[in-house]
Homo-oligomer: A and B are copies of this chain.
Amino acid sequence: MYSFANDYSEGACPKVLNALVETNDVQAAGYGQDLFCTAAAETIRKTVGNESVDVHFISGGTPCNVLAISLLRSYEAVICVESGHINTHETGAIEATGHKIITVKGKYGKITPAEIIEVVSNHPDEHMVKPKMVFISDATELGTIYRKSELKAIYETCRKLGLYLYLDGARLGNALVATGNDLTFKDICRYTDIFYIGGTKNGALIGEAMVIRNDDLKPYFRYLIKQHCAMLSKGRIIGVQFLALLEDSTYLDNAKNANIMAQAIKYIFKQYGIPMFIDSPTNQIFPVLENRLLEKIKTKYEVTEWGKFDKNHTIVRFVCSWATKKGDVQDFYNDLFTYMQNRTV
């Protein structure tokens, strides 16, 4: 059984694992105030091209989202697309901190300035929540990516309307190295108020790096981290990992491998005329499979059933990661060939 179910099926990528082993015996201060975190934060400041951002290392993606949104006042709300992770897969963690999520349809998992403007104009007074933040992710939940012009337009809309723009970068690496991408780390920093660089899904054992550019959002952030259960005693382990990932090209290399492998699988499907539910250029692809074919695949591969397409077809998600090897994809190619051969028409 091989799993294409997600990009967190293995532990850490070799370089990260090695770094953890090598630094293991060094004594370091607790709670993310150690030399490794300090060095990693400095590396991130260089990476995003901004010396004055605040960097915090956080235990996971949901915590990052909770933290960013908990910067709001209790009556302030966050806007996101219906498929947004905070709206669907965080067990109400955002609402549990008291904040309403206002959803819009979006397009291919992405929000548009027009949708933001409409939400704000529909929330004029104190009988409604006050929209104050826009949540986006890049890559999105559907594997799609934002173009620079799109991100810039959203950011400028936010500024005009007095909203903060927060970007969930759980799969930011996959976005930045995708075919068609024209954004850089520096752009991401420039056109958001706060965002995070995902570690867990791109080679780290655990941890994400929150980057705060907007000065209004900086004060007392560590209080929020601690209060929201996202501060590790041995915070050093996240610093160590991000240093390993970002001091050279490891972070982007990991993402490239993930994208290339997923796109290879997409290509394999396309050869058989199998359509994609959405044409994503990153490490998640969404073929629409005949149920009979899906059953065969599931005898040897773990994948995620994303939704029913029609009576006989299912939308399936395949995810690759830094750990996916050429051989794994080759095996799948061979198996699919067999399945297709034996197909009764």
Chain A residues in contact with chain B, CB under 8 A?
A: 2-3, 5-6, 8-12, 17, 20-21, 23-31, 59-63, 66, 70, 73-75, 77, 88-93, 95-101, 126-130, 200-201, 205-206, 220, 222-234, 236-237, 323
Contact = CB atoms under 8 A, between A and B. Distances in A.
Contacts of A24: 10-12, 17
A128 to B, nearest CB: 6
Given A12-B24, A27-B3, A30-B9, A226 B93 contact: yes
10 contacts: A8-B233, A11-B236, A73-B220, A74-B96, A74-B227, A75-B224, A93-B227, A206-B206, A206-B232, A228-B229
B30 A10 contact: no
A230 B229 contact: yes
A46 to B, nearest CB: 26
Copies of this polypeptide in the complex? 4
A95 B93 contact: no
Nearest to A221: B126
Contacts of A323: 25
A223 B10 contact: no
Given A25-B323, A222-B126, A92 B227 contact: yes
B95 A99 contact: yes
B8 A228 contact: no
Contact of A126 (B5, B8, B226, B237): B226
Given A11-B20, A75-B223, A92-B98, 20 more contacts: A10-B24, A17-B20, A20-B205, A73-B223, A75-B91, A77-B92, A88-B128, A89-B127, A90-B127, A91-B128, A91-B129, A91-B227, A92-B100, A93-B227, A96-B228, A100-B101, A126-B220, A126-B222, A126-B223, A130-B223
